[in-house]
Amino acid sequence: MERLVFENIFDAVTEDPIEAADLRFRSDLLTTLIAIFEDRKWKQADVAGALDIPQPRVSELMRGKIHLFSADKLIGYLAKLGVRLKPSFSAEHRVICEVVEAA
């Protein structure tokens, strides 16, 4: 039997590389948001207040239900927390994504 090997779980979920990339990106955004909440020691009520969303939505976010959140929505949540993703192209021909936090 042939063994299938995938670079990440999202390549196994879909055969569409664009959909896999979107899922991976949303997963990265969601993981970053959760890390910020944990770093700030926020409870779900704190998250709900900061993002202006109902507690059940916070629960879905905290449980990693990426299929319920668009990349636009997750980027908007980061913006509400004062975080901006700033992609650019370097002189060394590399894509860079700088994270800029409001002071």
pLDDT digits (tens, 9 = 90+) for 9-35: 565 566 788 888 898 899 999 999 999
With b meaning 16 or more CB within 10 Å and e meaning fewer, what string describes 29-43?
bbebbeebbeeeeee
Q: Could you give phi then psi for residue 19, rounded to 5 degrees? A: -65, -40
Which ranges of the chain have pLDDT less than 50?
Answer: none
Query: Has this prediction a pTM greater than 0.75?
Result: yes
The pLDDT, as a whole number, for residue 101 is 87
The pLDDT, as a whole number, for residue 18 is 86
